[in-house]
């Protein structure tokens, strides 16, 4: 093959030369074809090799202890690498944002390491960076977290820092303003990102004005309204030891780790946790919303409906139903939308089961012209899964993955701790951890059919499309959607009843 | 919600394309604290070459009953010929389209059906296929990987279908996201000649132009045993696995000849380059970049230290100055993109509302110039070394990560000993090394400055 010709093309932008050399490259490239064909012919036809003897896989050892003040401590000791991580969960997140104060949990978490009673923001950053550690904090739907990573000999110092930021954040006005500005800029970017917008709108449709439906990153008006007192109150209400869990994981013995936790959190005062009983989410109704973003080259698609909380008795089965629809080991959506129709790079469905309730949500994206076909296909798969019994082999596929991947799920000490924390956080039995593979395999095709029949709601799906509406609206009726609400992206307001911004001078 | 930095960083990560979020292997990120009471264990391995040229590396670690197989083909987007940008990655997709004994799309589903995970990614320099499975299935995975290298099915209709999938991937990752094409714009501006100027995902026009003959030629040229390295890490018996690899891969013929490696070098830039562009982005951005050396060059280690001092953590200079103190930017970070051929050190800032891009540019350049003029402090150097020790350990927690470290050293450094050997280089680094390198690369002549302004109207054309 003439490599010199390649140089000519790469240093020249003349299209004519490019065409010439392209053809040279092609004919040269065809030279070695014959040997390959011959190799393929010679290649043996054979069956895959048998597996080796399987090893018995047991859930690795861990300990749970509790401090007198109610702080639950998970200890996982593993000394392959000289590193320790500490992870604290507090049982309050975006769901606990008061109405009109959306974004409070997120900003509270962001402010924790921005200064305490005894350390400035800069001192905290310098201390953790100099020791080669990591310190991070954030908020999720039902929880807030603070994590550290340190070398084994730095655990004490890392926990000193963690204790300081968890227990004594300063919430200084200047830091509040900095974080507020960052959050507002993030909103500006998020509002322009079809992926983020689609996910926010589907949550809002599925959960309504239940806290799970509200934007966890806040809105311009909610972020602007937050005062120092809001942060102080949120922190004081929820950040108490009897409302928290901590895991110490890695190269430290359980006794040494527990002694360190006791040292820094032993005198953290217990306090009553506020009651929390939000309104129920609305029942599922069929609704299609198009968020118009002219110029988009793809349409972001979400389809879903309300399901149930993590502790629900049908969770184990429903998880497999949703895996068949769109998860690892199954995923009809991916097979149809990607493999058969080449409409997307990826399609999936998730069972988002939280503390109080949950949802089934399918997602994909496709080129604008294919929007109606893709959304119709997604909805059809919900119907098909409810209407027809799944194949035995299909269920086995989902179960083989879930049960078989058990050894992969306990590779790192952090992964082990995550599973333990998960059980504790959702008040699930710890005995389920070692029994997981057997529990997965206990689910039958009949179970799947029963749960799919009672919990899938294909006729009451909420659907969100974010894309260039003019280019696909006319196709939606043909795909079975006669009633469509269309909202220009700049008029979207997740906190209003009709999802539209109030009509007074919202333009800027 | 995604943080701003995560969003912009992901634009750069997107250069390496993977169906899952596979972290890039940090090149030579191996530091140790001076007072290192804590030193990570060295990686133990066996290395051998089969008669057909295939390199094999074994790292036995029996702590968890899982095994990981990672195959690196030393071909990436920089090996693409003109008019075929995106082809290395498109070809990666074709490797999932079946071989003599494995039906199309079955590779991934067979692996999931035994509880494993499999995927692949392509970057500028390499294409990497990986599988993690419960360890009793190691023979199955080796057999399937050998089957597709020995007998890939190349079928026109499958190819046409898969090309549409890749086009959706480009739309999703690059064209339909705020800042999705940031990286593409920078490299197009900074490089004139070397194929690093092209995005790994390729252009729509080039994807459309690719043919089934290109697939055959690419397979025959680059997917030969001498261009492949198989790393196996995890719970296995070394002798038994050596036999398996030899049995399954040994029967693949050596192939058609030498892999072409004559890639046009980027000429040394004569003067600073400046660009001002308009994009449908929600916030303006400023990027300051310098042409630097390649991964493994003696200067690459001080460049890693400079990236740490300038941009790792909230105590780093760029964050401290632009985001925290002056509040010129809502997000800012820098990175030394050290890969196989000379690349860029870049600093990116998203301009804060009410601030001017000019002021942001000035502040970014001031930080780079200051590093060249005054170097770094003893404390900063020590901090960077401590941070590298952490990254070094965190980068070796899983069998997948360990395999990646070994393969990176073998394939891109052509010296597996560097997987652990760079440790000492970092340990011994002095302030003078760091300042010498900052002075050498952070020059006006090597600089690329790019301003990107939001298009009025906000939407893409």
Distance from CA of B134 to the nearest CA of A (A): 6
In a domain, residue B263? The reply is: no
| Mean pLDDT calculated for residue range B92-111 | 95
Residue of A9, A343, A405 with shortest CB distance to B115: A405
In a domain, residue B76? The reply is: yes
Q: Per the CB < 8 Å rule, is A10 touching B82?
A: yes
Q: Per the CB < 8 Å rule, is B398 touching A411?
A: yes
Q: Are B193 and B264 in contact (CB under 8 A)?
A: yes
A46 burial via Cβ count (<10 Å: 0-12, 13-18, 19+): exposed
Angle between helix A121-130 and helix A155-167 axes, rounded to 10 deg? 160
Share of chain B above pLDDT 70, in %: 90
Q: Per the CB < 8 Å rule, is A345 touching B166?
A: yes
Q: Which residues pair with B287 in a beta bridge?
A: B348, B450
A388 burial via Cβ count (<10 Å: 0-12, 13-18, 19+): exposed
Angle between helix B378-394 and helix A121-130 axes, rounded to 10 deg? 60
Please state the three-class secondary structure of A310-358 as a single string. CCCCCHHHHHHHHHHHHCCCCCHHHHHHHHHCCCCCCEEEEEEECCCCE
Q: Are B215 and B161 in contact (CB under 8 A)?
A: no
Residue of A48, A122, A217 with shortest CB distance to B1: A217
pLDDT at B36: 45
Please write the tens of the pLDDT for every residue from B353-408. 999 999 999 999 999 999 999 999 999 999 999 999 899 888 898 999 999 999 99
Q: Per the CB < 8 Å rule, is A186 touching B282?
A: no
In a domain, residue B256? The reply is: no
Residue of B1, B81, B396 with shortest CB distance to A6: B81
In this prediction, residue A26 has a pLDDT band, given cuts at 50, 70 and 90, of very low
Distance from CA of A437 to the nearest CA of B (A): 11
Kindly report the CA angle at A392 between A386 and A398, in degrees rounded to 5? 80
Q: Are residues B278 and B240 in the same domain?
A: no
Please write the tens of the pLDDT for every residue from B180-223. 999 999 999 999 999 999 999 999 999 999 999 999 999 999 99
pTM: predicted TM-score of the whole model, two decimal places: 0.90
Compute the distance between CA of residue B453 and CA of residue B286 in angstroms, rounded to an integer: 9
Contacts of A189 in chain B (CB under 8 A): 4, 7, 178-179, 282-283
In a domain, residue B255? The reply is: no
B42 or B298, which is more confident: B298
Q: Looking at the predicted structure, is the pLDDT value of residue B6 above 90?
A: no
Assign residue B87 the CATH number of its domain: 3.30.830.10
Distance from CA of B48 to the nearest CA of A (A): 23
Total domains in the fold of chain B:
2
Compute the distance between CA of residue A298 and CA of residue A288 in angstroms, rounded to an integer: 18
Contacts of B114 in chain A (CB under 8 A): 51, 400, 404
| Mean pLDDT calculated for residue range A187-207 | 96
pLDDT at B5: 67
Q: Per the CB < 8 Å rule, is B64 touching A83?
A: no
Please report which helix (H) or strand (E) contains residue A488, including its range.
strand A485-488
What tokens appear for B396 in the block?
Answer: 């070796």
Please write the tens of the pLDDT for every residue from A261-294. 999 999 999 999 999 999 999 999 999 999 999 9
What tokens appear for B394 in the block?
Answer: 């965190």
In this prediction, residue B4 has a pLDDT band, given cuts at 50, 70 and 90, of low
B424 φ/ψ angles, rounded to the nearest 5 degrees: -65, -35
Query: What is each CA distance from B262 to A64, B81, B217, B300, B413, in whole angstroms?
Result: 60, 11, 17, 22, 17
Q: Per the CB < 8 Å rule, is A52 touching B115?
A: no
Q: Are residues B278 and B185 in the same domain?
A: no
| Mean pLDDT calculated for residue range A468-497 | 93
Q: Per the CB < 8 Å rule, is A152 touching B38?
A: yes
In this prediction, residue A212 has a pLDDT band, given cuts at 50, 70 and 90, of very high
Q: Per the CB < 8 Å rule, is A54 touching B386?
A: no
| Closest Cα in chain B to A123 | B315
Task: Return left, alpha or beta for B410; rule: phi > 0 is left, psi -120 to 50 is alpha, else beta.
Answer: alpha
pLDDT at B30: 29
Distance from CA of B323 to the nearest CA of A (A): 9
Distance from CA of B47 to the nearest CA of A (A): 23
Please write the tens of the pLDDT for every residue from B243-287. 999 999 999 999 878 899 999 999 999 899 999 999 999 999 999
Q: Looking at the predicted structure, is the pLDDT value of residue A79 above 70?
A: yes
pLDDT at B26: 28
User: Beta strand pairing status for B285-291 and B344-351?
Assistant: antiparallel
Cα A365–chain centre separation: 17
Q: Per the CB < 8 Å rule, is B313 touching A128?
A: yes
In a domain, residue B64? The reply is: yes
Q: Are residues B140 and B284 in the same domain?
A: no
Q: Per the CB < 8 Å rule, is A185 touching B330?
A: yes
Q: Are residues B99 and B208 in the same domain?
A: yes
Distance from CA of B367 to the nearest CA of A (A): 18
Q: Per the CB < 8 Å rule, is A3 touching B262?
A: yes
DSSP state string for A43-64: SPP-PPPPP-PPPP--PPP-EE
pLDDT at B457: 53
In a domain, residue B412? The reply is: yes
Size of interface A-B (CB pairs under 8 A): 311
Q: Are residues B306 and B439 in the same domain?
A: yes
Q: Per the CB < 8 Å rule, is B324 touching A121?
A: yes
Residues spanned by the domain of B308: 273-454
Q: Are residues B335 and B219 in the same domain?
A: no
Q: Are residues B245 and B277 in the same domain?
A: no
In a domain, residue B107? The reply is: yes
Q: Per the CB < 8 Å rule, is A49 touching B139?
A: yes
Please report which helix (H) or strand (E) contains residue A72, including its range.
strand A72-77
Q: Are residues B149 and B56 in the same domain?
A: yes
Please write the tens of the pLDDT for every residue from B61-95. 998 999 999 999 999 999 999 999 999 999 999 99
Residue of B33, B176, B220 with shortest CB distance to A297: B176
ipTM of the complex as predicted: 0.89
pLDDT at A41: 67
Q: Looking at the predicted structure, is the pLDDT value of residue A35 above 70?
A: no
Interface test with A, best of B8, B20, B82 (most A CBs within 10 A): B82
Residue after which a domain boundary falls, among B214, B233, B249: B249
Q: Are residues B190 and B287 in the same domain?
A: no
Q: Are A399 and A443 in contact (CB under 8 A)?
A: yes
| Closest Cα in chain B to A413 | B397
Contacts of B458 in chain A (CB under 8 A): 192, 490
Start-to-end C-alpha separation, chain A: 59
Please write the tens of the pLDDT for every residue from A488-507. 999 999 999 999 998 755 44
User: Chain-wide mean pLDDT for chain A?
Assistant: 90
Please write the tens of the pLDDT for every residue from B131-157. 999 999 999 999 999 999 999 999 999
Q: Looking at the predicted structure, is the pLDDT value of residue B17 above 90?
A: no
- Please give the biggest Cα pair distance in chain B: 66
Secondary structure of residue A156 in the 3-state scheme:
helix
Q: Which residues pair with A352 in a beta bridge?
A: A359
Please write the tens of the pLDDT for every residue from A398-424. 999 999 999 999 998 899 999 999 999
pLDDT at A105: 98
Q: Which residues pair with B451 in a beta bridge?
A: B276, B286
Q: Per the CB < 8 Å rule, is A26 touching B214?
A: yes
Q: Per the CB < 8 Å rule, is A121 touching B387?
A: no
Distance from CA of B393 to the nearest CA of A (A): 7
Q: Are residues B111 and B20 in the same domain?
A: yes
User: Chain-wide mean pLDDT for chain B?
Assistant: 90
B26 or B173, which is more confident: B173
Start-to-end C-alpha separation, chain B: 27
Q: Are residues B108 and B187 in the same domain?
A: yes
Residue of A130, A194, A195 with shortest CB distance to B383: A130
Distance from CA of A326 to the nearest CA of B (A): 13
Contacts of A329 in chain B (CB under 8 A): 112-113
In a domain, residue B262? The reply is: no
| Mean pLDDT calculated for residue range A382-411 | 93
Q: Per the CB < 8 Å rule, is A52 touching B134?
A: no
pLDDT at A21: 27
Q: Are residues B351 and B294 in the same domain?
A: yes
pLDDT at B256: 72
Please state the three-class secondary structure of chain B as a single string. CCCHHHHHHHHHHCCCEECCCCCCCCCCCCCCCCCCCCCCCCCCCEEEECCCCCEEEEEECCCCCEEEEEEEECCCHHHCCCCCCCHHHHHHHHCCCCECCECCCHHHHHHHHCCCEEEEEECCCCEEEEEEEEHHHHHHHHHHHHHHHHHECCCHHHHHHHHHHHHHHHHHHHHCCCCCCHHHHHHHHHCCCCHHHCCCCCCHHHHHHCCHHHHHHHHHHHCCHHHEEEEEEECCCHHHHHHHHHHHHCCCCCCCCCCCCCCCCCCCCCCCEEEEEEECCCCCEEEEEEECCCCCCCCHHHHHHHHHHHHCCCCCHHHHHHHHHCCCEEEEEEEECCCCCCCEEEEEEEECCCCCHHHHHHHHHHHHHHHHHHCCCHHHHHHHHHHHHHHHHHCCCCHHHHHHHHHHHHHHCCCCCHHHHHHHHHHCCCHHHHHHHHHHHCCCCCEEEEEEEECCCCCCC
Residue of A10, A153, A344 with shortest CB distance to B38: A153
Residue of B115, B211, B217 with shortest CB distance to A408: B115
Handedness of CA A348, A354, A359, A365 (dihedral sign): negative
Q: Which residues pair with A349 in a beta bridge?
A: A362
| Closest Cα in chain B to A197 | B1
Contacts of A128 in chain B (CB under 8 A): 313
Contacts of B194 in chain A (CB under 8 A): 10
pLDDT at B126: 98
Contacts of A21 in chain B (CB under 8 A): 81-82
Q: Per the CB < 8 Å rule, is B383 touching A129?
A: yes
CA dihedral A486, A489, A495, A501 (to 10 degrees): -80
Residue of B1, B117, B390 with shortest CB distance to A132: B390
Q: How many other β-carbons are positioned within 10 Å of the β-carbon of residue B167?
A: 22
In this prediction, residue B426 has a pLDDT band, given cuts at 50, 70 and 90, of confident
Contacts of A298 in chain B (CB under 8 A): 168, 171-172, 175-176
């Amino acid at each position: 093959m003439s490599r010199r010709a390649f140089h000519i093309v790469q240093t020249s932008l003349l299209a004519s030369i490019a065409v010439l050399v392209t053809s040279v490259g092609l004919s040269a490239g065809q030279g070695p074809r014959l040997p390959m064909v011959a190799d393929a012919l010679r290649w043996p036809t054979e069956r895959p090799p048998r597996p080796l003897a399987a090893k018995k896989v047991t859930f690795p050892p861990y300990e749970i202890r509790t401090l007198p003040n109610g702080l639950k401590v998970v200890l996982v000791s593993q000394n392959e690498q000289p590193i320790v991580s500490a992870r604290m969960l507090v049982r309050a997140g975006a769901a606990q944002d008061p109405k009109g104060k959306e974004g409070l949990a997120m900003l509270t978490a962001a402010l924790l390491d921005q200064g305490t009673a005894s350390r400035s923001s800069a001192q905290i950053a310098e201390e953790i960076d100099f020791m080669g550690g990591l310190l991070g904090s954030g908020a999720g739907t039902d929880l807030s977290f603070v994590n550290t990573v340190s070398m084994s000999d730095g655990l004490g110092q890392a926990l000193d820092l963690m204790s300081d930021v968890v227990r004594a954040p300063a919430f200084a006005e200047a830091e509040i303003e900095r974080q507020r500005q960052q959050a507002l800029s993030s909103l500006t970017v998020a509002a322009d990102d079809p992926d983020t917008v689609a996910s926010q709108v589907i949550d809002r449709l599925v959960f309504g004005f239940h806290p799970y439906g509200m934007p966890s990153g806040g809105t311009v008006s909610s972020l602007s309204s937050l005062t120092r007192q809001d942060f102080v109150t949120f922190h004081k209400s929820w950040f108490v030891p009897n409302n928290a869990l901590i895991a110490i994981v890695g190269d430290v013995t359980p006794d040494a780790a527990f002694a360190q936790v006791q040292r820094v959190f032993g005198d953290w005062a217990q306090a009553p946790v506020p009651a929390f009983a939000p309104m129920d989410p609305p029942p599922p109704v069929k609704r299609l919303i198009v968020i118009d973003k002219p110029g988009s080259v793809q349409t972001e698609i979400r389809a879903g409906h309300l399901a149930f909380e993590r502790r629900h008795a049908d969770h184990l089965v429903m998880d497999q139903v949703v895996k068949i629809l769109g998860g690892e080991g199954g995923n009809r959506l991916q097979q149809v939308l990607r493999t058969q129709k080449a409409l997307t790079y990826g399609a999936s469905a998730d069972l988002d089961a939280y503390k109080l309730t949950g949802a089934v949500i399918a997602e994909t994206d496709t080129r604008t012209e294919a929007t109606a076909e893709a959304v119709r296909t997604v909805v059809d798969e919900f119907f098909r899964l409810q209407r027809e019994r799944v194949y035995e082999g299909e269920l086995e596929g989902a179960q083989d993955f879930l049960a078989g991947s058990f050894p992969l799920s306990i590779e790192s000490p952090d992964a082990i701790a995550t599973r333990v924390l998960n059980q504790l956080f959702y008040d699930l039995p710890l005995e389920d951890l070692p029994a997981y593979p057997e529990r997965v395999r206990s689910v039958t095709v009949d179970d799947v059919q029963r749960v799919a029949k009672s919990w899938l709601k294909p006729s009451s799906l909420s659907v969100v499309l974010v894309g260039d509406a003019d280019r696909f609206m006319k196709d939606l009726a043909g795909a079975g959607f006669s009633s469509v609400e269309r909202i220009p992206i700049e008029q979207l307001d997740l906190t209003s009843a009709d999802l539209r911004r109030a009509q007074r001078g919202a333009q800027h | 919600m995604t943080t701003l930095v995560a969003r912009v960083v992901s634009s750069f990560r997107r250069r390496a394309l993977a169906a899952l979020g596979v972290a890039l292997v940090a090149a030579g990120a191996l530091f140790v604290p001076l007072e290192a009471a804590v030193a990570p264990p060295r990686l133990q391995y066996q290395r051998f070459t089969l008669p057909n040229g295939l390199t094999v590396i074994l790292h036995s670690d029996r702590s968890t009953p899982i095994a990981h197989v990672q195959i690196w083909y030393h071909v990436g987007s920089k090996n693409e010929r003109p008019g075929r940008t995106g082809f290395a990655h498109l070809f990666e997709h074709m490797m999932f389209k079946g071989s003599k004994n494995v039906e199309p799309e079955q590779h991934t589903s067979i692996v999931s059906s035994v509880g494993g995970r499999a995927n692949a990614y392509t970057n500028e320099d390499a294409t990497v296929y990986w599988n993690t499975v419960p360890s009793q299935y190691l023979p199955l995975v080796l057999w399937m990987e050998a089957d597709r290298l020995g007998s890939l099915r190349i079928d026109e209709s499958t190819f046409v279908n898969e090309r549409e999938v890749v086009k959706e991937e480009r739309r999703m990752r690059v064209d339909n996201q705020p800042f999705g094409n940031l990286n593409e714009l920078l490299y197009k501006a900074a490089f004139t000649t070397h194929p690093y100027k092209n995005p790994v995902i390729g252009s729509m026009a080039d994807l459309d132009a690719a043919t089934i003959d290109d697939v055959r030629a690419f397979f025959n040229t680059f997917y030969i045993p001498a261009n492949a390295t198989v790393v196996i890490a995890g719970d296995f018996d070394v002798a038994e696995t050596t036999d398996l690899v030899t049995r399954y891969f040994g029967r693949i013929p050596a192939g058609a000849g030498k892999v072409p490696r004559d890639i046009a070098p980027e000429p040394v830039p004569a003067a600073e380059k400046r660009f001002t562009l308009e994009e449908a982005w929600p916030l303006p951005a400023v990027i300051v970049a310098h042409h630097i050396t390649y991964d493994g060059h003696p200067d690459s280690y001080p460049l890693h230290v400079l990236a740490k001092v300038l941009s790792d953590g909230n105590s780093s200079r760029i964050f401290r100055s632009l985001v925290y103190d002056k509040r010129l930017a809502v997000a800012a970070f820098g990175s030394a993109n050290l890969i196989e051929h000379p690349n860029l050190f870049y600093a990116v800032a998203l301009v804060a509302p009410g601030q001017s891009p000019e002021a942001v540019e000035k502040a970014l350049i001031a930080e780079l110039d200051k590093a060249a003029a005054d170097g770094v402090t003893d404390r900063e150097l020590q901090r960077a070394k401590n941070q590298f020790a952490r990254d070094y350990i965190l980068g070796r927690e899983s069998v997948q990560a360990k395999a990646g470290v070994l393969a990176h050293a073998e394939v891109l450094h052509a010296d597996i000993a560097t997987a652990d050997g760079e440790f000492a280089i970092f340990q011994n680094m002095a302030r003078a090394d760091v300042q010498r390198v900052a002075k050498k690369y952070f020059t006006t002549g090597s600089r690329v400055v790019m301003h990107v302004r939001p298009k009025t109207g906000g939407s893409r054309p």
